[in-house]
A and B are shown apart, each in its own frame.
Chain A
């Protein structure tokens, strides 16, 4: 059964060598940052930091050199990503572009689109957000109502998107919109557009979130005039394209590492305060053991991607299992800390814990909810 037989894979030496460089960079770039700030991890936005990474050639690392990338392997990206996530580096500004928008443009874009966007993504000058969910359409994207009508000069876009991470601080959105038919046509008649968010008619309203941030937004399109070449890929091929994009979104190591800063912060406190009772050791051991197996599985998925395969089901499996663990970690640590209330945890640790407790529900919502992913896995098991 292919789904359950992922094989461990060695990271090629030249890609493993990248790790030391990245760690050296991070040691310098991350000094003095509080752990609860780092805990934002890939949801922490810092345009300057993204540009510094770009200067090192670490944005779009797998993109071809002709477009400003480094032409490196999926393993290089894995090494880079896990060091960034392990440290809680604020990679949010470029993360979506790097993870999925650029690969999408590379795969489906015209030469002109590739030349226009990819170099700027690699330079940290073009930040992207994902336009999929709408107020009436989350898991069921066939129900989207944003619509682009043909005009003499291109398209006219009306509608709205919601829960759009970083819309208020991105330059572009790649949006799934309906270009023909109606909701009854389900996944037929959908297309993807690259939307310049500075165009007239685009209104963005950040939404305050549970943790005191405003990481996502509502975006409104009122007669937004798009040029002909805003369309990416083929008209009507939006569903197929969005599924490819989602496979990219689901296959990265950030689906395991969202709670890493908390784990490290907690481990450090245990060492400093000499807390090493059986319950602490056992809980830590369990977390590391589960992460270890998941990391190996995530690396195996990277290996399949590197071979040019399309491991959509395997990626869904690793994402669902990974996010379940990510979500469980804050609660486990909370009960260990709370189990000995006489040993008062330091404020930075408590803030880090509280942030993860509050935001953890999002881990199994973004990029496909738990229930949707389990349906994809079930199909892969031959049940649907």
Chain B
């Protein structure tokens, strides 16, 4: 299952998301054909139960797709959509076709206007699963006025609707903010692997002082550190997807997001240090991944936010550090 899935995801993403599609998305024009190809692939409903038209897979089964989405730096919320559809299915709801962004923070309302200042994927998403004090709401982002929120090429946007807030969806044990955490953990892990591969290739090819720069000890030491963090982030992302249901264990999702977020800026920085000036150009592919890494790190809470939640949980649990590690920060799906 693992390799087959991985290969089909890789093929789909390679064929569907080229530079033109990427540029369009970053200009606020998501490519409908590209999204349709994703819908037709069946990936988006992979976690939806079979009676509801999905493949009924477990979260651990779709990890290869999630990693691949990060490896390709797909400019669309494929992974949040997969998990959000699974979540909606557990409360017997379904969004119409289209991509779903998850917005746990910032929802405000006036008399007859709704506003969410910064939604990750807000420039391109069709739907937003947003949190209010009453619970979670599914909002149609195609009806919203979108304002770019992040920096150059960011897919974040503020969304503004005229109208009132629809009723909250039924409560569920798992909260969608942990879905966002797990999604971004896997995407960051995939992107970091891509960046490591690019950087190693560059270091082995670029020659100065008569040899590839990868032969210099100073460069090698940095690359070793980079590899360590890529490995740890990947493990944390893999753990975040260790679930035999369609939804993540919240603590593992939080830990995955936090560990990947800790690694992301370090990995991006070393990549840029090794690449030199060419890595800062728009033309060279590195920036495609490092820009996303920094956005995904900040999306819906960076490492400190999730670490604080886990620290509070650990303190109140009364457990020793080892017991907490073993029982809450580890799982292997059968």
A residues contacting B by CB (< 8 A) are 1, 3-10, 82-83, 86, 257, 260, 263-264, 267, 270-271, 276, 278, 280-297, 300, 317, 320-321, 371, 373-375, 377-378, 381-384
Quick check: A297 and B309 within 8 Å, CB to CB?
Answer: no
Quick check: B321 and A293 within 8 Å, CB to CB?
Answer: no
Quick check: A292 and B234 within 8 Å, CB to CB?
Answer: no
Complex Cα distance A5/B310, Å?
A: 25
Q: Which residue of A lies closest to B309 (CB)?
A: A285
Q: Which residue of B lies closest to A294 (CB)?
A: B232
Quick check: B214 and A383 within 8 Å, CB to CB?
Answer: yes
Complex Cα distance A122/B217, Å?
A: 42
Contact indicator per residue, chain B 192-236, by CB within 8 Å of chain A (1) or not (0): 010011001001100000000011010111011101111111111
**4 closest residue pairs by CB, A with B:** A285-B311, A285-B307, A292-B329, A281-B311
- Confirm or deny: B325 has a beta carbon within 8 angstroms of a beta carbon on chain A: yes
Contact indicator per residue, chain B 171-183, by CB within 8 Å of chain A (1) or not (0): 0000000000000
Q: Which residue of A lies closest to B192 (CB)?
A: A4
- Confirm or deny: B242 has a beta carbon within 8 angstroms of a beta carbon on chain A: yes
B residues contacting A by CB (< 8 A) are 193, 196-197, 200, 203-204, 214-215, 217, 219-221, 223-225, 227-236, 238-239, 242, 255, 258-259, 262, 303-304, 306-312, 314-315, 318, 320-322, 324-326, 329-332, 334
Nearest Cβ distance between residue A252 and chain B, in whole angstroms?
15
Q: Which residue of B lies closest to A317 (CB)?
A: B228
Quick check: A383 and B258 within 8 Å, CB to CB?
Answer: no
Complex Cα distance A382/B214, Å?
A: 9
Quick check: B311 and A377 within 8 Å, CB to CB?
Answer: no
Complex Cα distance A286/B322, Å?
A: 14
19 examples of A-B residue contacts, CB within 8 angstroms: A5-B234, A8-B332, A282-B307, A286-B262, A286-B303, A286-B311, A289-B236, A289-B255, A289-B258, A290-B262, A293-B232, A294-B232, A300-B235, A375-B217, A375-B224, A378-B221, A378-B223, A381-B200, A382-B200
Nearest Cβ distance between residue A158 and chain B, in whole angstroms?
35
Complex Cα distance A297/B239, Å?
A: 11
Note all chain A residues with C-beta closer than 8 A to B324.
288
Given A4-B231, A264-B320, A290-B232: A295 touches B325 (CB 8 Å cut-off): yes
Note all chain A residues with C-beta closer than 8 A to B308.
278, 281-282, 285
Quick check: A4 and B193 within 8 Å, CB to CB?
Answer: yes
User: Contacting B307 at CB < 8 Å: which of A7, A9, A289?
Assistant: A289
Complex Cα distance A288/B314, Å?
A: 9
User: Contacting B238 at CB < 8 Å: which of A7, A291, A378?
Assistant: A7
Q: Which residue of B lies closest to A19 (CB)?
A: B326
Quick check: B321 and A291 within 8 Å, CB to CB?
Answer: yes
- Supply 12 further A-B pairs (C-beta < 8 A) apart from A8-B331, A294-B232, A378-B224: A1-B196, A1-B197, A257-B322, A281-B307, A286-B258, A289-B262, A293-B235, A295-B325, A296-B330, A321-B228, A321-B229, A374-B220
Quick check: B204 and A1 within 8 Å, CB to CB?
Answer: no
Nearest Cβ distance between residue B181 and chain A, in whole angstroms?
12
Nearest Cβ distance between residue A128 and chain B, in whole angstroms?
27
Note all chain B residues with C-beta closer than 8 A to A270.
315
Q: Which residue of B lies closest to A280 (CB)?
A: B311
Q: Which residue of A lies closest to B200 (CB)?
A: A381
